[in-house]
Amino acid sequence: MIARELMEYGWECMMIRLYKEGKLSLRTLASRLDMSVRDTIDLLSEFIIQSPIEYDDYLKGFKGFK
């Protein structure tokens, strides 16, 4: 069980590093982590990595889905 958690954490860290280096888009990162874009942005904020979109743009996009 601990080994699985470590592997998942390592996978997240590796994917976040690739995103930070500009090798993954936000959508691709979210897909590879099996998360929504919103949850991925929240995860990035935990690692103090700024989102590439402004909050107002996010809200505009969210309103477009309604």
Shortest CA distance to 36 belongs to which of 8, 7, 62, 2?
Answer: 62
Domain residue ranges in the chain? 2-65
Instruction: List, in order, residues 6 or more apart from 33 with CB less than 8 Å away.
Output: 11, 12, 15, 40, 43
pLDDT averaged over the chain? 83
Q: What are phi and psi of 59, to 5 degrees?
A: -65, -40
CA–CA separation, 3 vs 21, rounded Å? 27
* Residue 56, number of CB atoms within 10 A of its CB: 8
Question: Residues 18-31: pLDDT tens digits?
Answer: 998 889 988 999 99
Query: Is the overall model pTM greater than 0.85, yes or no?
Result: no
Question: Residues 36-57: pLDDT tens digits?
Answer: 988 998 888 888 877 666 667 6
